[in-house]
Structures are given as structure tokens and as C-alpha cells.
Amino acid sequence: MENLVLAFTIIGFLGVGAQWLAWRFNFPAIVLMAIAGVLAGPVFNIFAAPGAAPGTPPMEAMFGEFYRPVIAVAVAVILFEGGLQLNFSELRGLTRGVQRLVFPGVPIAWFLGAAAAYLIAGLSWPIALLFGGIMVVTGPTVIIPLLRQSKLNARPATLLKWEGIVNDPIGALLAVLVYEFLVIGEHGATSGEIVSSLILAASLSAGLGFAIGRFVATSFRRGFVPEYLKPPLLLVLVLTCFELANLLQEEAGLLSVTAMGVTLANSKIASINELRLFKENIAVLLVSGVFVILTANLTAQSIGALDWSVFWFLAAMLFVVRPLTVLVSTIGAGLPWKERLLVGWVAPRGIVAVAVSSFFGASLLEAGYVDGGKLIPLAFGMVFATVVLHGFTIGPLAKALGLASRQRPGVLIVGASPFSVALAAKLKEMGTPAMVADTSWRRLKPARLANVETYYGEILSEVTEHHVDLNRFGYLLALGGNEAHNALVATDLAPELGRAAIFQVNARGKDEDDRKALSYTLQGRTFLHSGAALDELLRRHYGGWGFQRTRLSEEYPPEQYKADLGADHEIILVMRKGALVFASREAPVSFEIGDTVLAYIPKPEETNAERSRSASRDAGERDHEPA
């Protein structure tokens, strides 16, 4: 293919399409991206470059000298975005566990991985040591999506996330160390000179990342940079940091951008969430594209180089090296055996492992090391095996060990009122976990009396992150009496839960076309098809309205149910195959046989005159305060 624009279009379509399919059918995204790349590359040869020499990897032939820089820039941004997720406040009670996974965990994994590569995969000792260093990494590009998919408890999720992001640059530097011995050592440099040079370069690179991170934090806090320039400036500084560190030492830029990301994550910047979201969007796009490029770059010859020794090597890495590394390194770290067992099984490799293997494999071949050509197929084999096995087993294993919720995704209700408490109690009765959060202890009293789970505090506080596991919840209802607070909750938690799962009640019944109302971009979906205001819902509650759960079947079809409901009702949600579909103004619900419908209906015997009297009830009786 000679048309680069068309090639980028196809790569983007395959990568993002694989991400969407993974989200839609709850599959590990990297598996589908890898399959897409293999089909486009070695199977159908879509990216074949006319006139390329036989056996030349198609993507390298097409991109030419830009192939490696494109991969390097993508990996730099991905690692920075991963570092931006590492807040030291998450490490409460886990500091020793994370430290042990880095040291002595990394040296143990390095030695055992190198031994497996030498004894089983048939690599020479120098190449085995280099590949063992690369296999230390468990990248954020696969760990973080797996954590989202499996809904792990906070402790094991934090351990896996920190290990994956911290060990990525360390593994790359170990590979650099061996590479320096192999290539530069041949030119007369002593071992001491090589090691001291690498340590100095790594220290300077980490210091450079820290310095640039502090500079960015100070500039943003003092208002030296306008809001619209913050994301692009940050992207430019990430690339600057990466390249300056690489000038000090090859691949040291990976360590530098990670240090920069961690520094920013732990700096108090008001716009840090917006920056995280921007970088996450870029990282998703880069991961999608880069993984398709790397897998499409495989050739029939490289795949044909895989034999049974590779299978036994993968088995040794999965069932011996990783579990033994975690069990030995975490002795005395204060971690429960269940957490050690789960962490000892989960270690998927991703973009960084493949990208670094691709770089060093080509460099070693040029330097005359024949078995350097085995690094790329071995790395891809490791990625496929770990992502498929860990992607499909992390959820069931975590649930079996009690480290993930067995319940269906729950409902988080922000704002306590008689209506919201009654709704939470009904959801609990239907088998759906529900929690009511509010800043008023008094408003939460009815929920406590109804044995409904509560959270007393500001849901947007940083402290809340350590007391409320948002992974338990699949839906958010902002039902407070303060419209601005409801909108802030919807906006702040949208990246975590997704806008389609967030619903917000009208606090005062404003018309949606009111120009003085809050912008729709700051809000979630409108709760209920009618968009009834909170005042109206409370009036109905005091008027005797109640919740009615109905199962639709062949004997009682949707048509009959609609006829029986009449005109005076409010559909709250439909439970369909275990999932909840809330009614909203933007997306009215439909009924199907097998659904369970939750409706809000008046008392059957209530007359219009009684409704009028209930509407005039004293407002002080309602216990309706702003959140």
C-alpha cells in the first residue's frame, strides 16, 4: 500500500473498532486488536508495500524510517498517561507490597525469565538476559482495561496498577543494560563503566521528569498557561522530556516520562482531571493504532519460527516464573494469601513489551546476533497468551477468591430524600445493590432505618475515593435538591461510569429550554421520561405513590401491561437479563417479554380530590433541603 492516509484510516478503523467490540461484548480489547492486526497483516497482507524485498515486515516497508519514531512517541505518551494515574494516596497500607513487587520482585523475575528463555526457548545467554528484562514489564495498556473489566477490589487493583506502571520503564532499562554490554562492551568499555553510565543516565532522566513535572504544576497553578493551551502544551513537554532523556541514554525516556506523570499526579492542580481525561483519550487512540501496527508488521516467516519450545516457554512463564516471583518477593509484606495468589497469576504483557522487543530484535540482528530475530515472535506469543488467559480468568478468579463483587453492578444515589430512600430500598429488594450518599446525617436517617447502605460525606471529596469503591456501581442517580451539585456530580463521575449510566433529576422543574438553566453539557441524562422535578416526586411520595414491580411474560405481555397501567404512572426502570435500563427523557424505555418493570404509581383508591389535598401539604413536612 502506497497511500499512507488510507493506511492510517484503516489502522484507526481496525483499532478503534476492536476497542468498541471489546466494550460491547466485554472481551479483552487487546485480544481483538491483535486479531485485527494479524488479519490485516500476515493473513490478508493489506499493508504490503509494492516493490518491498521479500520477507520485509510490511509496516516497516510502508513507513520506512518513520516506523520506529512513531512507535517510540506512542509508547512515551502511553507511559506518561499511566504515570498520571499513580497517586501516592492510593498506597495506604500497600506501600510495602508495591515495594516488594519492585524489589526484590524485579530481579527475581528477571533471573527466572532469563533462565526460562535460555533453557526452554533456546536463546543464547546474552539474548536470554535481555529478553528476561523485557518480560519484567506488565504494562498499563493491558492492566488498566482488565481492572475496569473485572471490577476488582481496591487493594489488589492498586497493587497490579502500580506494579504495571512502575515496572514498565525498569524492564526497558534492564534490556538497555544488557544491550550496552553486548554492543558497547565490544568497543572496549568495562562493566563498571557501562553500569555506572546507565545508573547516572537513569538518575538524570528521572530527575528531568520530576523537574519538568514540577515546572508544569507550578505554571498551571499560577495561571501562566491559559486553559485551552494546557493539554497541547503538556503533550509537547512530554515529547520534549522523552527525547531529552533518550539523548542521555537510549530508552531512558520511558523512565523520564513516567516520573513526569507521577509528579503531576501528586501535585495539587485544579485541572488534573481534565488533563487525565485528555491524555487518556489520546492514549486509547495510540494504543489502538500502535498495537494494530505492531501485529500487522508480523511476517509469515516470523510466525513460522514459533515451535513447541515456545509453548513450553510460555507455560513456564505463566505457571512457574510469575507465581514464584510474587510468592517469594511478597513474603512478610503483610498481604493476604488471596491477594498474593491473584497477583501471582495476573501479569499480562502489552505494548511496551512488544515495542521494546521490536526495537532490540532489529538492533541485535544488525549487530550479528542471529537469535535476536526470535524476540519479536516470542514477545507476541507472550502477549497473546497472557492477555487471553488473564483477560478471561481475572474476573472469575477474583470472584472465587472474594476479591471482586459477585453482585450485579449497583446503583449509587447521590442525595437523600424520602423518594430516593424508598427507591434504594426497592432496588435492594430486587437484588440490585444500592447506596445513598449525602452530606447530611439527618437526611440519611431514613435510609439507615430502612437498612439501606449509606455514605455520609461529600461524594466528590478525595477522601471518598478511599472509602467508596466506585467499581461496585454501574449507574449513578443524582437526586439531590441542589441542581448545580447534581450537575457537578454528573460531570465529575462521567469519565468513571460513562454519561449513558448517569441520570440527574430536575431540582426545581425548570423548562429544558430555559436559557438561564445549566447547560446540558454539564448534566447527566434526565431522570424519568417525564423529567419530573424533585418537588413533584416528593409530592407524589407524600401523596401515597409507591413502587410496583411487574414481570412481563407470555401470559402477561407488554401490551396488556401498558393497558393496565393507564395514563397516571412513571416508569423508573426495566431490568433486562440482569442489566438495568433507566427511563430518561433522552431514551424512553421499551418493554419486552421477560423484562421486569419497576413503575411508580399512585394509590389505586386515590381520587383527584385527595391528590389536590396532598399537593397542598405543608412544605416543611417534606424534609427537602439542598444537598
Q: What is the pLDDT of residues 461-489, one digit of tens each?
A: 766 665 677 778 889 999 998 888 888 88
Same domain, 385 and 447: no
**Grid cell in block for residue 56:** 520485509
Same domain, 161 and 303: yes
Position 432 in a domain: yes
Residue 407, Ramachandran bin (φ over 0: left; ψ between -120 and 50: alpha; else beta):
beta
Strand, coil or helix: what is 404? strand
> Mind listing the pLDDT tens digit for each residue in 357-406?
877 787 787 777 888 878 888 888 898 888 888 888 888 898 888 887 66
Q: Name the strands in the sheet holding 596-601, side by side, starting at the edge strand that comes first in the sequence.
A: 546-551, 596-601, 570-576, 579-582
Higher pLDDT, 53 or 541: 541
DSSP label at 318?
I
Q: In this predicted structure, what is the pLDDT of residue 513? A: 53
| Closest residue by Cα to residue 379 from 120, 134, 112, 74 | 134
Q: Which of 47-51, 75-79, 411-415 has the highest mean pLDDT?
A: 411-415
> Mind listing the pLDDT tens digit for each residue in 274-285?
777 777 778 788
The domain boundary residue, chosen from 400, 434, 463: 400
Higher pLDDT, 615 or 334: 334
Same domain, 326 and 375: yes
CB 125 within 8 A of CB 341: no
Q: How confident is the model at residue 616 (pLDDT cuts 50, 70, 90)?
A: very low
Higher pLDDT, 418 or 388: 418
Higher pLDDT, 202 or 592: 592
Q: How confident is the model at residue 338 (pLDDT cuts 50, 70, 90)?
A: very high
Q: What is the CATH number of the domain that holds 145?
A: 1.20.1530.20
Q: How does strand 546-551 pair with strand 570-576?
A: unpaired
Position 55 in a domain: no
Same domain, 132 and 101: yes
CB 14 within 8 A of CB 40: yes
The residue-averaged pLDDT of 257-285 equals 81
Percent of the chain at pLDDT > 70 equals 87
Q: In this predicted structure, what is the pLDDT of residue 236? A: 93
Higher pLDDT, 350 or 217: 217
Q: What is the CATH number of the domain that holds 500?
A: 3.40.50.720
Element (H, E) at 454: strand 453-456
Number of domains in the chain: 2
> Mind listing the pLDDT tens digit for each residue in 136-172?
888 666 777 777 667 787 788 888 888 887 787 787 7
In angstroms, the first-to-last Cα distance of the chain is: 59
Same domain, 373 and 490: no
Q: In this predicted structure, what is the pLDDT of residue 290? A: 83
Same domain, 226 and 351: yes
Position 53 in a domain: no
C-alpha triplet 372, 376, 378: angle, nearest 5°: 95
The residue-averaged pLDDT of 342-354 equals 85
Position 254 in a domain: yes
Position 108 in a domain: yes
Contacts of 515 (CB under 8 A, 6+ apart): none
**Grid cell in block for residue 316:** 513456564
Per-residue pLDDT at 517 exceeds 70: no
| Closest residue by Cα to residue 347 from 309, 384, 377, 387 | 387
CA–CA dist 418, 444 (Å, integer): 9
Same domain, 420 and 389: no
The domain boundary residue, chosen from 357, 375, 400: 400
CA–CA dist 371, 378 (Å, integer): 11
Average pLDDT for the chain: 82
Position 567 in a domain: yes
DSSP label at 572?
E
Position 57 in a domain: no
Q: In this predicted structure, what is the pLDDT of residue 67? A: 81
The residue-averaged pLDDT of 539-559 equals 92
Strand, coil or helix: what is 547? strand
CA–CA dist 206, 260 (Å, integer): 8
Q: How many CB atoms lie within 10 A of CB 53?
A: 7
Same domain, 376 and 431: no
CB 188 within 8 A of CB 124: no
Same domain, 203 and 241: yes
The domain boundary residue, chosen from 375, 400, 425: 400
Q: How confident is the model at residue 42 (pLDDT cuts 50, 70, 90)?
A: confident
> Mind listing the pLDDT tens digit for each residue in 170-215?
877 788 778 777 766 555 567 777 778 778 888 898 899 999 999 9
Same domain, 369 and 433: no
Same domain, 110 and 224: yes
Residue with cell 501528586: 266
Same domain, 436 and 385: no
Q: Which of 348-362, 491-505, 507-521 has the highest mean pLDDT?
A: 491-505
**Grid cell in block for residue 386:** 497472557
Q: Please count the helices (runs of H) and the strands (runs of E) in the chain.
A: 25, 10
> Mind listing the pLDDT tens digit for each residue in 84-113?
877 777 666 667 888 888 889 999 999 999
CA–CA dist 120, 378 (Å, integer): 12
Residues, the chain: 627
Position 384 in a domain: yes
**Grid cell in block for residue 510:** 425548570
Q: In this predicted structure, what is the pLDDT of residue 536? A: 92
Host domain of residue 450:
410-622
| Closest residue by Cα to residue 486 from 443, 437, 529 | 437
Higher pLDDT, 251 or 553: 553
Per-residue pLDDT at 510 exceeds 70: no
